[in-house]
């Protein structure tokens, strides 16, 4: 993430996230001692916590909504392409 000096919002979000991480991973933590299971549990906790900057939605909810938007756009595009292909084929006959 590129931080612009004049923009306070991204810096605040990054600092807040760093503070949240420090709750689970103090500076004294030995990285090689961390298990995948523990790291996944931290990710789950962080992604399940509502955020003011996300309108009090969780990061997981926002991510899922964005994925659904993409999927719907892809399905719509595929449907339109299929419809165009079938229509073109019908005219050619």
C-alpha to C-alpha distance for 88 and 60, rounded to whole angstroms? 42
Does 2 score more than 90 pLDDT? Answer: no
C-alpha to C-alpha distance for 79 and 72, rounded to whole angstroms? 10
Q: What pLDDT is stored for residue 77 in this prediction?
A: 82
* Domain range list for the chain: 7-49, 59-93
pLDDT exceeding 90 applies to what percent of the chain? Answer: 57
Rounded (10°) angle between helices 8-24 and 36-47: 140
Q: What is the pTM of this model?
A: 0.65
């Amino acid at each position: 993430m590129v931080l612009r000096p004049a923009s306070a919002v991204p810096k605040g979000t990054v600092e807040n996230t760093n503070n949240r991480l420090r709750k689970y991973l103090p500076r004294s933590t030995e990285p090689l001692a961390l298990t995948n299971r523990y790291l996944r549990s931290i990710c789950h906790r962080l992604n399940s916590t509502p955020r003011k900057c996300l309108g009090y939605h969780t990061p997981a909810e926002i991510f899922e909504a964005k994925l659904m938007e993409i999927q719907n756009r892809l399905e719509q595009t595929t449907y339109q392409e299929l419809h165009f292909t079938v229509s073109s084929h019908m005219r050619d006959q």
